[in-house]
Structure 1
């Protein structure tokens, strides 16, 4: 166990293991209780020996590193997912683990809608035709679809999914369905205008668009399987902005090449970055973005300032239950 307790007047050292928004760095440096070591400082390599807290973004923090960092009391994760942190190793040491589950929700929801629109209107293919002299062919709009009054299904119906659904309902009058066996009945009761679907195959069979909005866990890895994809309504458009590995990528490639999936857009992959010869990347009805759903200017500032504040509070024994993972 890590039995260290905050000592009044004692300065603590926070290591920023990756770059974060400058406003958050300024916020930490303005705290007279803190010594802040940024990602570009030569001292960064000493974090295992000197860090009382670390803030990480897009990096793995494995058990060996956590156990080696004897002074470490707080781990702040820039973003919602904590699958990059060995939570059990942190618990063994009594280290507080924090994340920022809500600050990037709007930007991820907007990307989900963007990918649906881009896939439905074949934007990437149309852009290629314009660049290569295929203007006349592009104007035919072959295979293009509307979102308007079509049915969208959500695999997982948490905060981001609900924000996405609100955009789609308000802008396109879409009918909304969702599959989420983990969502309590009390929450379902508040979801007016949403059809609760009891199985994944029923969701895929009854929807024109499906958005995946789940964390990656052993239970959800490979959840969108060949069997689920085979049940899809012909021409269904699939979007995943949550975590790689939830969608079976070889199965999706086959379903895009031979049906029934009409198009797909993914911001996440099982292995990131994907290899250049990944089978999905060669398909004309597939769109990829580089795991940047939360990477808007506004979101990056919100996330960074939030995790900076929460990390400092936890480091000095103040309550942080709202964002506490462990």
Structure 2
């Protein structure tokens, strides 16, 4: 924990966050709060005891240049945009919100599965472009009911998504996650463990990607893995871009090896208008907004505001600490 210190601290909100979280911070007499639209923002490296970030990078050079920085609060679960190693070098606390947006992301995963299976975006296009009769044929449409869904990574969000699919559609759940100990699988009768990625892709009708992006997971869903997929498999990714080889996925969609796909994340965001996936009628894209519901944005912002304030005065919750 940080040492106790009752001196007034300066918190820079480098990105817009929910009004309730801003009000919470400003109500704390121990804090001087500088918002994203304040002219002082240019001086954050000199003045900030803490920064709160949403949707922006914090590279190592900025962390090393910040003279007073003690706490970095990341609005959201992923911390790949923050140089955590540089923060550790300086003894700076890094916080995230690993719990608050899980429901929203799980709901989007299910939404993308349903939309891809029923080709909702393409059907909408047909209705708007004199294609009503063609749309009514339901060509390529699939059901989720009693089909098999696989998860690459079986953490909190994956398990929430699995619960929805199991209860609503009686889906059989398979998961691949070599980091989960053997005892977990032995104690569960509601999920089947896949020994390899190839086994999972070959056995499932739907696959959801639920992994952080790391050097080990970058490019994990490769051309070779996609080539092992059960023909017509529907793929969804709401975790991080770069885990799926996007060029290989475009090819697999064009050949029909992958029946449809929905992705909330891309290797480069936003993707270029000429991205090969964006021209395919069997592909659905959303703008990395899995956690961006009204309810989730308030929960995340209020939690990171609370935890950042507490960390500055030595009482951060351990489960929110990354470093």
Structure 1: 5+ residue stretches without partners = none
Identify the residue that residue 7 of structure 1 maps to in structure 2. Answer: 5
Identify the residue that residue 191 of structure 1 maps to in structure 2. Answer: 188
- Larger RCO, structures 1/2 (Cα 8 Å, 6+ apart): 2
Are 1:169 and 2:166 an aligned pair?
A: yes
Q: Deviations over 1:101-158 (max 9, x none)?
A: 1100000000000000000001011001100111111111111110000000000000
Q: Which 4+ stretches in 1 moved above 6 angstroms? A: none
Q: Deviations over 1:148-205 (max 9, x none)?
A: 0000000000000000000000000001000000112233344331000000011000
Q: TM-score, normalised by structure 2?
A: 0.98
Contact 2:250–2:276 (CA under 8 A) maintained in structure 1: yes
Distance 1:64 1:142 in 2: 53
Contact 2:209–2:238 (CA under 8 A) maintained in structure 1: yes
Structure 2: 5+ residue stretches without partners = none
Contact 2:185–2:192 (CA under 8 A) maintained in structure 1: no
Contact 2:154–2:210 (CA under 8 A) maintained in structure 1: yes
Counterparts in 2 of 1:86-165, with a 5 A limit? Answer: 86-165=83-162
Counterparts in 2 of 1:123-272, with a 5 A limit? Answer: 123-272=120-269
The SS at the match of 2:79 is coil
Distance 2:179 2:199 in 1: 17
Alignment RMSD: 1.0
Are 1:320 and 2:304 an aligned pair?
A: no
State which of 306, 314, 317 in structure 2 corresponds to 1:309.
Answer: 306
Counterparts in 2 of 1:37-76, with a 5 A limit? Answer: 37-76=34-73
Q: TM-score, normalised by structure 1?
A: 0.97
The SS at the match of 1:210 is strand
Identify the residue that residue 75 of structure 2 maps to in structure 1. Answer: 78
The SS at the match of 1:237 is strand
The SS at the match of 2:251 is helix
- The number of equivalent residue pairs is 322
